Amino acid sequence: MAGFYRSSYVEDGETKYLATTQFEPIDCRRAFPSFDEPALKATFDISLIAKKSLTCLSNMDVKDTILLGDDKKKVVFNTTPVMSTYLVAFIVGELNYVENNDYRVPIRVYSTSGSEKLGVYSAEISAKTLAFFDKKFDIPYPLPKCDLVAIHDFAAGAMENYGLITFRTVEVLIDPKVADVNGLKRVTEVVMHELAHQWFGNLVTMDFWDGLWLNEGFATWMSWYACDALYPDWKVWQSYVTDDLQQALSLDGLRSSHPIEVPLKRANDVNQIFDSISYAKGSSLLKMISNWLGEETFVKGVSNYLKKHKWGNTKTRDLWESLSDVSGKDVNTIMDIWTKNVGYPLVTVKELGNNEIEVTQNRFLTTGDVKEEEDQLIYPVFLTIKTSKGVDTSAVLDVRTKKFKLDTDDDFFKINADQACIYRTVYESDRWIKLGKAGIEGKLSVEDKAGLVADAASLSTSGFLSTSSLLNLTQSWANETNDVVWSELTSNIGSIKEAFKFEGAEFTEALQSFSIDLVHQKLTELGHEFSDSDSFGEQRLKKLLFGTAVSSNHPKYVQICKDLFEKFVGGDKSVLNSNIRGIVFNCAAKTGDEATFEKLFDIYQNPSSAEEKVSALIALGAFRDEKILDKVLDLLFQFDVVKKQDTYKPMISMRTNTIGVEKLWAWYTTNYEKLIEAHPPQLSMFGTLTKLSVAGFAKKEQKEKVVAFFEGKDLAYFDKSLAQALDVVTSKISWVERDSDSILSWLSTNGYTKSKL
Ligand code: BES
Ligand code: ZN
């Protein structure tokens, strides 16, 4: 799946192929000799010789088609504008398309035969998104056409080749009428992200790969900017706090993280930085700046930056300059520290009485063991203090410790208003209780609430807060009505379950009993039936609550899943709303036997949609029976059954249970050489597989086993992934050692025991 490669698919029982390219970051050189570096831009004259009946595509539109003898043709494309090699693309295959003409240039979505209609949605939103970016950046999309192509074998999710964007099938083809809400949101995000790259990355390109964040951070921010404008009711900036921001803070809370701008020693290392730092931390930094300068000023500055550097290459400094010019603020000095250094601050708030607080900053590490030499930096931290009187944006903590006066008359305040900045905040224990009440009284925004629980969860993992404070806060918000807040509440309980999964049945069942109690009332109120009149948020909330009840083994909802599954495999596909398809499949597997495996595998082999196929594949990892898991793992080397692009899918569910996690590790170590051969570590997939095989562990002896296995092995190209997985394990080990007694006693004091089920 790198360079110029072949992708296979089956049509009417016949295996067919198409040829396609994936050059980013450094695989253009596999296809043709080139000065393969982002700053060495050139124009490209591309011609393809192929069988007459095949569709030939490239970055530009067709200039000429010359018939050659022997049933062949030569398709000559117009010269491209000046561009980087990693954005060149060409495709040959039997392809059909749908076309949308709502925009200035034609937009086509190509797919293999039979799926054309599923491209209509992406074509439509592309037309709207391109028009939106034209206007906001004040620079028209410069190419004569824009093609989006669904590819059956694809390493990443999508790729922004200039004028010829490629996708994994499920990331671009979708039927919006029957799609799962999160699936629809994902397709929208991916399409908008790749279209944003047509300006950020394609028109203006980072000077070198150490500036990757300029591409990916921007495309991420811009995808949500466009999504928010086109779908205001999706409220994507709210879910940003639970998704992108938390991804950034989680990875960057590890010792093995890296600065946004990272020096690269070897070309092959660049694949390792396509991670949550370049994407999510990069984008969160932009969000912080846009919040500071105001969105309009920010976008104006960005437009100036694009105009000034179009067709060229930039360094981070160029961006800061344009933003400084437009805002009159010293953006460079403030922001440099954020891109050049690893990590972020933990802000500790001490209350001095009389509306005075003392605020201190230190480096935050999830393992809770920061050393003095790791804690030397002082960030300019925007405190943005929220009180009942409004938000004080002037308070900046630019020294280690400083006192601030609060402008409040009702004892309410919260730091990091709307969670727009990159840090975590720890309060005194009374304040957590008061903030819990403030949430109920409506004094906190959705972003505030989601951020507060996320901070509480992370702080309990790392030992800055006792996990019982998190549980108290969670319990006190059981009447919450917002899906984003709920998603943070339930995902945190999920993290506790995950980290403490080896602590025995008593522990697990008490936690399950708590989860069930937490969601029970809201779930009963809302039900798990979906209707066309449900809003986006309502669908997400129902899905979340139902999923939590099921994964906590609530007997009633488990039975509902089993019944739905049987009806579904019995042929009544309409019983299963796609929002709960994954939940039902997983539950069937978790409680299922050989016969269930056969049924799920049959769904996988004969799915009615690509999304259904993926759901079934993920669920295959959820069985609890060792023999079945062996079968599933065997499938991962049968590449005609499970494509290499999907190897990791069953591993996602396998690593979350005690049997699966051990099976997975045994399989990984036994097949290590074979795995390396199938997934060369230079490509990012091997790092993903390693992470998934290691990060499920939570015990000291498990970690030692992993470390011993890799001793003396060549870790080139996946050393970062491995170190990050081990850091995750380390933080779980200390969390469990520190808090398991107190969690258990909290649960039993609150009446949650095994017997309550
Ligand atoms: N430029 C990347 C594709 C890419 C990823 C190339 C990794 C080489 C290595 C593309 O724009 C991208 O970011 N794709 C994301 C999806 C996006 C919506 C976050 C992906 O593939 O996951
Ligand atoms: Zn991207």
Q: How far is the CA of 150 from the centre of ligand 2 (A)?
A: 16
Instruction: Tell me which amino acid residue 460 is.
Output: S
Give mean pLDDT, residues 108-116: 96
- CA-nearest residue for atom 18, ligand 1, is 190
Distance CA 757, CA 755 (A): 5
Give mean pLDDT, residues 260-286: 93
Given a cut of 60, whether residue 749 has pLDDT beyond it is yes
- CA-nearest residue for atom 16, ligand 1, is 157
Instruction: Tell me which amino acid residue 247 is.
Output: Q
CATH 1.25.50.20 fits 475-749, yes or no: yes
647-681 residue pLDDT tens: 999 999 999 989 999 999 999 999 999 999 999 99
Q: How far is CA 94 from CA 12, 216, 393, 666, in A?
A: 14, 32, 57, 41
94-110 residue pLDDT tens: 999 999 999 999 999 99
- CA-nearest residue for atom 13, ligand 1, is 216
2-23 residue pLDDT tens: 999 999 999 999 999 999 999 9
Mutation pick for ligand 1 pocket among 126, 162, 164, 194 (CB with most ligand atoms within 8 Å): 194
List pocket residues of ligand 1, CB cut-off 6 Å: 24-25, 156-160, 189-190, 193-194, 197, 216, 219, 274
Q: What's the pLDDT band for 753 if we cut at 50, 70, 90?
A: confident
Distance CA 224, CA 230 (A): 10
Q: Is 193 annotated as a binding residue?
A: yes
Could you tell me which residues come within 8 angstroms of residue 199 by beta carbon, excluding any fewer than 6 positions away? 133, 137, 139, 222, 306
560-601 residue pLDDT tens: 999 999 999 999 999 999 999 999 999 999 999 999 999 999
pLDDT at 756: 46
Which of 249, 338, 325, 261 minimizes the C-alpha distance to 293?
Answer: 325
Instruction: Tell me which amino acid residue 675 is.
Output: L
Rounded to a whole number of angstroms, the CA Rg of the chain reads 26
Q: What is the DSSP track for 625-679?
A: -HHHHHHHHHHTT-TTTS-GGGTTHHHHHHTTSHHHHHHHHHHHHHTHHHHHHHS
Strands (DSSP E) found in 181-320: 205-206, 313-314
- What's the mean pLDDT when you consider all of the chain? 96
Q: Residue 345, SS3?
A: strand
608: buried, middle or exposed (CB in 10 Å: 19+, 13-18, 0-12)? Answer: exposed
Given a cut of 60, whether residue 529 has pLDDT beyond it is yes
Give mean pLDDT, residues 203-211: 97
In which residue ranges of the chain is CATH 1.25.50.20 found? 475-749
Distance CA 655, CA 629 (A): 11
- CA-nearest residue for atom 14, ligand 1, is 158
Which of 416, 437, 418 minimizes the C-alpha distance to 426?
Answer: 416
**Which ligand lies nearest to the CA atom of residue 22 in the structure?**
1
Could you tell me which residues come within 8 angstroms of residue 3 by beta carbon, excluding any fewer than 6 positions away? 21, 22, 23, 27, 28, 30, 31
437-495 residue pLDDT tens: 999 999 999 999 999 999 999 999 999 999 999 999 999 999 999 999 999 999 999 99
- CA-nearest residue for atom 3, ligand 1, is 159
Mutation pick for ligand 1 pocket among 126, 159, 685 (CB with most ligand atoms within 8 Å): 159
**Which ligand lies nearest to the CA atom of residue 189 in the structure?**
1
**Which ligand lies nearest to the CA atom of residue 275 in the structure?**
1
Mutation pick for ligand 1 pocket among 1, 24, 169 (CB with most ligand atoms within 8 Å): 24
Element at 17 (helix H, strand E): strand 14-22
Give mean pLDDT, residues 706-728: 96
CB 419 within 8 A of CB 448: yes
Could you tell me which residues come within 8 angstroms of residue 387 by beta carbon, excluding any fewer than 6 positions away? 406, 407, 408, 410, 412, 413
Distance CA 585, CA 597 (A): 10
Q: Is 258 annotated as a binding residue?
A: no
DSSP 408: -
In which residue ranges of the chain is CATH 2.60.40.1910 found? 344-450
DSSP lists the bridge partners of residue 18 as 7
Q: Residue 346, SS3?
A: strand
- CA-nearest residue for atom 21, ligand 1, is 157
* Pick among 1.10.1060.10, 2.40.110.10, 2.60.40.1910, 3.40.50.970: CATH of 344-450: 2.60.40.1910
Q: How far is the CA of 732 from the centre of ligand 1 (A)?
A: 29
Distance CA 395, CA 436 (A): 24
- CA-nearest residue for atom 2, ligand 1, is 159
Q: Is 554 annotated as a binding residue?
A: no
Q: How far is the CA of 159 from the centre of ligand 1 (A)?
A: 6
Q: In this structure, what is the dihedral angle of CA atoms 678, 681, 684, 687, given to the nearest 10 degrees?
A: 100
* Catalytic residue IDs: 194
pLDDT at 265: 82
Q: What's the pLDDT band for 268 if we cut at 50, 70, 90?
A: confident
Which atom belonging to ligand 1 lies closest to the Cα atom of 168?
21
Give mean pLDDT, residues 268-284: 94
pLDDT at 755: 52
Secondary structure of 471-493 in the HEC alphabet?
Answer: HHHHHHCCCCCCHHHHHHHHHHH
Q: How far is CA 340 from CA 25, 267, 282, 332, 379, in A?
A: 22, 20, 12, 12, 12
344-399 residue pLDDT tens: 999 999 999 999 999 999 999 999 999 999 999 999 999 999 999 999 999 999 99
Q: How many CA atoms lie within 13 A of 106 on its CB side?
A: 8
CB 126 within 8 A of CB 191: yes
Q: How far is the CA of 193 from the centre of ligand 1 (A)?
A: 9
Residues, Cβ < 5 Å to ion ligand 2: 216, 219
Q: How far is CA 389 from CA 393, 407, 413, 620, in A?
A: 12, 7, 10, 53
pLDDT at 505: 92
Q: Residue 179, SS3?
A: coil
Q: Give percent of the chain above pLDDT 90.
A: 97
* Residues 656-661: contacts with CB under 8 Å, at least 24 apart: 656/498, 656/501, 656/696, 657/501, 657/590, 657/622, 657/624, 658/501, 658/502, 659/624, 659/626, 659/629, 660/621, 660/622, 660/623, 660/624, 660/629, 660/696, 661/501, 661/696, 661/697
pTM: 0.97
Given a cut of 60, whether residue 691 has pLDDT beyond it is yes
Q: What's the pLDDT band for 267 if we cut at 50, 70, 90?
A: confident
Q: How far is the CA of 166 from the centre of ligand 1 (A)?
A: 10
Which of 40, 29, 83, 41 minimizes the C-alpha distance to 60?
Answer: 83
Structure token pair of residue 22: 């994936």
**Which ligand lies nearest to the CA atom of residue 213 in the structure?**
2
157-187 residue pLDDT tens: 999 999 999 999 999 999 999 999 999 999 9
Q: In this structure, what is the dihedral angle of CA atoms 262, 336, 419, 465, given to the nearest 10 degrees?
A: 70
Which atom belonging to ligand 1 lies closest to the Cα atom of 223?
18
Q: How far is the CA of 272 from the centre of ligand 2 (A)?
A: 14
Could you tell me which residues come within 8 angstroms of residue 54 by beta carbon, excluding any fewer than 6 positions away? 92, 93, 94
CA-based end-to-end distance of the chain = 48
pLDDT at 269: 86
Q: How far is the CA of 226 from the centre of ligand 2 (A)?
A: 15
399-436 residue pLDDT tens: 999 999 999 989 999 999 999 999 999 999 999 999 99
